[in-house]
Amino acid sequence: MAHAFVLRRRVQFYETDAAGIVHFSTFFRYMEEAEHALWRERGLSIFPPEPTHGWPRVAASFSYQRPLRFEDEFDVRIEITKISTRSLTYGCLITCRGELVAEGGMTIVCVQRDADQTMRAAPIPEAIVARLQPAPSAGS
């Protein structure tokens, strides 16, 4: 596993349904919010002011173990599980009070936009790969 990041959140009222439970689709937003925080931590932005690349999502999933409710504090742990030439795969665990709430993942691909705005798969720039690699351990 490459590099993990943990984001602490609190469930907001607008994220819940009429029963006060977080709607299943909101978990994808939590995962994406943690992804962006991971990139910022590594000195990157997934959408810088003058982007040269895009990062469409090509796969995303979650399995749910228990609900999150309004005002719950929870952690979103995201980790890069695979870096290939043109894609990144993340694993995500959402926990609340030490209990697993949901487990999921997402794959994104690197694309370049042509002048006509057509997107085509492109290799991930080495500068980005280098920053997303795990930090060297003290014993290495």
Q: Which of 17, 72, 75, 116 is catalytic?
A: 17
Determine the Cα–Cα distance for residues 25 and 43; give it in Å rounded to an integer: 28
- pLDDT at residue number 136: 57
**Domain extent listing, the chain:** 4-132
- pLDDT at residue number 20: 93
State the chain's mean pLDDT as an integer.
92
Q: What is the pLDDT of residues 111-129, one digit of tens each?
A: 998 888 788 999 999 999 9
- pLDDT at residue number 140: 46
How sure is the predictor about 50, in pLDDT bands with cuts at 50, 70 and 90?
A: confident
* The two structure tokens encoding residue 132: 């997303």
Q: What is the pLDDT of residues 62-110, one digit of tens each?
A: 999 999 999 999 999 999 999 999 999 999 999 999 999 999 999 999 9
In the predicted model, is pLDDT for residue 61 greater than 70? yes
Q: In angstroms, what CA-CA distances link 50 with 7, 44, 57?
A: 26, 13, 20
- pLDDT at residue number 93: 98
17 is catalytic: yes
The CATH code belonging to domain 4-132 is: 3.10.129.10
Residue in the block written with tokens 């002011």: 49
